[in-house]
Amino acid sequence: MENNPDTTLVTQTAPIANETHGGRAKCLQRLVRLDLPVPRTVALSFKAVHKIGAGHLPDVQAVVAQFPKGALMCVRPSSEDPDWGGPGAVLNIGINDARFAELCETMGEGPAASLYTRFVQSYAVNVARLDPDMFDEIEGEGREALAESLRAYEAETEEAFPQDTATQLTAVLRSMARAWEGTSARLLRQAKGAPADAGLGLVVQEMVFGIGSGQCGSGVLQLVDSDTGLPQITGRYMCQSQGRDALHGDAGAMYLTRDPRGASLEEAVPEAFETLKTHAALMRARLRAEMQVEFVIDEGKVHILDGMRVPRSSRAAVRIAVALADEGIISREEALMRVQPRTLTELLHRQVDPSAKRDVIGHGIAASPGAATGKIVFSATEAQAAASRSEPCILVRRETSPEDIRGMHAAHAVLTERGGITSHAAVIGRGIGLPCVVGASNMTFNLVKKTITAPDGRVFAAGDEITVDGSAGEILAGAAKMQEAALDETFQRLMDWAEEAADIGIRANADTPADAQTARNFDAHGIGLCRTEHMFFEPGRLTVMREMIFAESGEDRRAVLERLLPMQRDDFTQLFRIMQGQPVCIRLFDPPLHEFLPADKAGQRELAEALDLPLSDVTRRIDALTEYNPMLGLRGVRLGVTVPEIYEMQARAIFEATIDASRDGDPVVPEIMIPLVSARREVELVKTAVDAIAAAVRNEGEADFTYRLGVMVETPRAALRAGEIAPHCSFLSFGTNDLTQMTYGLSRDDAGRFMSDYVQQGVFPEDPFHVLDVDGVGELLQLGAERGRAAQPGITLSICGEHGGNPESIAFCRAAGFDYVSCSPFRVPVARLAAAQLAILHKIG
Ligand code: PEP
Ligand code: MG
């Protein structure tokens, strides 16, 4: 038995591994090695459990034979990662009428009946799949409750309650194996990162009752607080109880340490409390993790049934990892490996400013922390469409299902009418760090009319702006004032260690001074992409911009651009000052001009008024600018070549800001990036123009500066021709949003309409706008990088599309030898930790 790889007695030397038997089995073996008082246990491997699910049983008699005659057993799940869950434990297997009679003699009728009743009810619900409500009517305790439970079982199943231990155990094992294979269990664990074929192990353990004469009971203990991660003995104990009864909030549960609110284990059984503390500290030091100890006290003696990683909030995860490293229990590198990059997202989320006025329009369950403002959308498809327009949205659903996952990724927050803290929206929301309020049942959701109505009668329709506060469980009208995430000292230390370990740079995509400040707060290594066009949408600038578009000649256009110049210069000076000492990569104007023109008649009339032109002139010009396919039309460098005055103004603004910002600090070395390049000549033309402006500004300002010119590789041709483009520039930055769009011939703005179908039918493994397509787009990245580097060794290579913050894409870029990735400011810590983990994994091979 000890060396049977499928059903293995847990001893110090038995062949048990996390990957074959699951975390619980492995942990129990470690506890055995520490000589802790662990009841006898047999571990069933993933393979054995999988076979049980398919109807092939192991030698169950041999398993039973491992335990003393007459012992009762429990079965608990043991998955590879405890977070993936598993079926609930079943206790007291092996009890039957005869054993009950014996136990009545040794422990008394009441406790014996309680053990048997518990098993009957749990068997009925978990194995025979009967409705748990059927036992609700049973009142009282002892022999009567037992008899009634047996009667109810037998009436419902039309069978006698099984008396044979092996039969009972077989049925429990089979039902647990099958529960793991069920669709909802699989979806739930996949949402927590489990692979599709994740296995389940089971442990069969001898029961220590926790019920009987003398000091008996059960409980859990841990040495830290799960929310804060700070040292604090936490848990509960309950006399005459089993399993996790003490945690269910029942009357009679005791505190562990002395507490003014009630009785404590420390006072009731001081020796056992001391023993437990010692065991817990030993487990922490030797298992090198904060553990939650599940224990039983039986006639005053402590038994350790299990040790689990302490459940923890994201904040606690960071604190625990840093504290263990500080105490030398684990290395700094291990601490870095222990924090999931994605969990940082939760820690980093923005919150509604506590001092802000809150116009509350609804309440629900605070299911996933952080807050976000956006326009209401009522379907996942609309959410994806909004995301492709870079429009923040709030996904409102009655409840969510796996089909909504892509929409949830696209949304800034989720609000559901139904659901609880473990419902789909809540689990997924927490998993991906998306603010989420579920069960907002005091609001009326009308999904046909696409409205939600507040209790006070106010109606909010699709497109209206609301704020979801996932930390408070509130929905607010409009855009609430936000507060950026708080960075505590332990988080900062972890980030510092990550900075030391990582070997790829992390920059931020930042368009505004606020974004840049966030990037700076997160110690980004500079700005990798500043999309300058966003600056022109600001009030006061849009009209000037439109005037520029309507200018009849280059000269007129230059005159209008003169008015935009100081505004751009100020924008850049601010960015340079905030990022002082760090590179700032400014992308020249990219979108088609028509994006700046009003689409409706009212807007066009206003424009005609502002420009003092007849309406017909305005509509004619707008018609003339209309393109069949603007994303593939006159935009990016094509505008730079055909309407050169815009780039000239921007280059001048950048250089004048460079001089300004360098006056009172480190010299600024701006980076200027040309978008949508597909031909070498485009780069030559823009470079000549920009060089000329640089020379002019140097002359006028009597100041010197340097700058770097680079190309944004976002057309397949630019990637393929990187060899001839690279000699004309200092860096190539891959814009994987457009590159994905053009590689697939798939519109970024329309893909949302059918992406779910495509992914569901397995056409694409993932939405390629979300997770980098390493096969196709990746091949272009690889080719572009190789050809660019061959033509100009030492050229800087980077990625600045949305994929830049995604851990899998970072792995790709790192392997391809890129210098940095650039991502949205809030993803910088996530990216940095992912980069550190990759470097550590690489180091340890
Ligand atoms: C890109 O295309 O990848 C990119 C970063 O630019 P934008 O999203 O502004 O088109
Ligand atoms: Mg682009």
**Is-catalytic flag, 424?**
yes
User: What is d(CA 711, CA 585) in angstroms, rounded to the nearest whole number?
Assistant: 11
- What lies within 8 Å, CB to CB, of 623 at 6+ separation is none
| Cα dihedral 777→780→786→791 (10° resolution) | -140
Q: What is the DSSP letter of 158?
A: S
Q: CATH 3.50.30.10 region(s) of the chain?
A: 350-483
In which element (H, E) is residue 723 found? helix 722-725
Whose CA is closest to atom 6 on ligand 1?
Answer: 735
Q: CATH 3.20.20.60 region(s) of the chain?
A: 505-526+574-591+637-825
Ligand closest to the CA atom of residue 800: 1
CA 811 to chain centroid: 17
Whose CA is closest to atom 8 on ligand 1?
Answer: 737
Verify whether ligand 1 is closer than 6 Å to residue 531 (CB atom). yes
* Mutation to probe ligand 1, out of 507, 587, 714 (largest number of atoms < 8 A from CB): 714
CA distance readout (Å), 185 to 50, 198, 259, 415, 773: 15, 11, 39, 23, 28
| CA 725 to centroid of ligand 2, rounded, Å | 18
CATH topology of domain 7-206: Dna Ligase; domain 1 (3.30.1490)
Ligand 1 atom nearest to 736, measured from its CA: 3
CA 123-128-131 angle, 5° bins: 90
CA 585 to chain centroid: 28
Verify whether ligand 1 is closer than 6 Å to residue 735 (CB atom). yes
Annotated active-site residue in 74, 239, 393, 800: 800
In which element (H, E) is residue 644 found? helix 644-663
Q: Give 473's strand partners.
A: none
Tell me the two tokens of residue 154.
């037998």
- What lies within 8 Å, CB to CB, of 492 at 6+ separation is none
Whether 764 and 696 have beta carbons less than 8 Å apart is answered as no
| CA 659 to centroid of ligand 1, rounded, Å | 28
| CA 696 to centroid of ligand 2, rounded, Å | 30
| Cα dihedral 409→413→418→424 (10° resolution) | 30
User: What is d(CA 469, CA 460) in angstroms, rounded to the nearest whole number?
Assistant: 17
| CA 674 to centroid of ligand 2, rounded, Å | 10
Verify whether ligand 1 is closer than 6 Å to residue 583 (CB atom). no
| CA 670 to centroid of ligand 1, rounded, Å | 19
In which element (H, E) is residue 708 found? strand 708-713
| Long-range CB contacts (within 8 A, 24+) of 50-58 | 50/177, 50/199, 50/200, 52/173, 52/174, 52/177, 53/174, 53/177, 53/178, 53/180, 53/181, 57/170, 57/173, 57/174, 58/6, 58/7
* Mutation to probe ligand 1, out of 529, 713, 737 (largest number of atoms < 8 A from CB): 737
| CA 781 to centroid of ligand 2, rounded, Å | 15
CA 245-209-290 angle, 5° bins: 55
Give which of 205, 233, 256 is closest to 38, Cα–Cα: 205
Verify whether ligand 1 is closer than 6 Å to residue 716 (CB atom). no
- SS3 at position 204: strand
Verify whether ligand 1 is closer than 6 Å to residue 737 (CB atom). yes
Q: CATH 3.30.470.20 region(s) of the chain?
A: 217-312
Q: What is the DSSP letter of 583?
A: -
- What lies within 8 Å, CB to CB, of 299 at 6+ separation is 212, 213, 214, 215, 216
| CA 712 to centroid of ligand 2, rounded, Å | 8
Verify whether ligand 1 is closer than 6 Å to residue 294 (CB atom). no
Tell me the two tokens of residue 227.
């929310």
Task: For residue 86, count other CB atoms closer than 10 A to its CB.
Answer: 21
Ligand 1 atom nearest to 738, measured from its CA: 2
**Is-catalytic flag, 800?**
yes
Verify whether ligand 1 is closer than 6 Å to residue 800 (CB atom). yes
Tell me the two tokens of residue 747.
């519109």
Verify whether ligand 1 is closer than 6 Å to residue 736 (CB atom). yes
Residue 718 identity: A
Tell me the two tokens of residue 118.
């518990």
User: What is d(CA 200, CA 85) in angstroms, rounded to the nearest whole number?
Assistant: 10
217-312 CATH: 3.30.470.20
Task: For residue 188, count other CB atoms closer than 10 A to its CB.
Answer: 18
Ligand 1 atom nearest to 741, measured from its CA: 2
Verify whether ligand 1 is closer than 6 Å to residue 738 (CB atom). yes
For residue 402, the model assigns a pLDDT of: 62
For residue 246, the model assigns a pLDDT of: 77
* Mutation to probe ligand 1, out of 391, 530, 531, 824 (largest number of atoms < 8 A from CB): 531
Ligand 1 atom nearest to 531, measured from its CA: 9
Ligand 1 atom nearest to 390, measured from its CA: 8
Query: What one-character-per-residue DSSP string does 513-531 give?
Result: HHHHHHHHHTT-SSEEEEE
350-483 CATH: 3.50.30.10
* Mutation to probe ligand 1, out of 389, 738, 799 (largest number of atoms < 8 A from CB): 738
Tell me the two tokens of residue 369.
């922390």
CATH topology of domain 505-526+574-591+637-825: TIM Barrel (3.20.20)
- What lies within 8 Å, CB to CB, of 459 at 6+ separation is 451, 452, 453
Whether 25 and 38 have beta carbons less than 8 Å apart is answered as no
Average pLDDT per run of 10 along the chain, which is 845 residues long? 78 95 96 97 96 93 93 95 88 95 91 92 93 83 91 93 96 95 85 88 94 88 91 92 77 89 93 96 96 94 94 88 97 96 78 85 87 95 90 93 79 90 70 82 92 96 96 93 77 96 94 86 94 77 88 90 94 95 96 85 87 90 89 95 96 97 89 98 98 97 94 98 98 95 88 77 87 95 98 97 88 96 88 97 89
Verify whether ligand 1 is closer than 6 Å to residue 511 (CB atom). no
Q: CATH 3.30.1490.20 region(s) of the chain?
A: 7-206
CA 121-127-133 angle, 5° bins: 45
| CA 573 to centroid of ligand 1, rounded, Å | 23
User: What is d(CA 791, CA 722) in angstroms, rounded to the nearest whole number?
Assistant: 8
Verify whether ligand 1 is closer than 6 Å to residue 781 (CB atom). no
Query: Residues 182, 185, 191, 193: is their CA dihedral positive or negative?
Result: negative
Verify whether ligand 1 is closer than 6 Å to residue 809 (CB atom). no
| CA 736 to centroid of ligand 1, rounded, Å | 7
Could you give the maximum distance between any two Cα atoms of the chain, in Å?
Answer: 106
Ligand 1 atom nearest to 714, measured from its CA: 2
Whose CA is closest to atom 10 on ligand 1?
Answer: 738
| CA 737 to centroid of ligand 2, rounded, Å | 6
Annotated active-site residue in 21, 409, 412, 424: 424
For residue 431, the model assigns a pLDDT of: 56
Q: Give 231's strand partners.
A: 224
Verify whether ligand 1 is closer than 6 Å to residue 512 (CB atom). no
- SS3 at position 117: helix
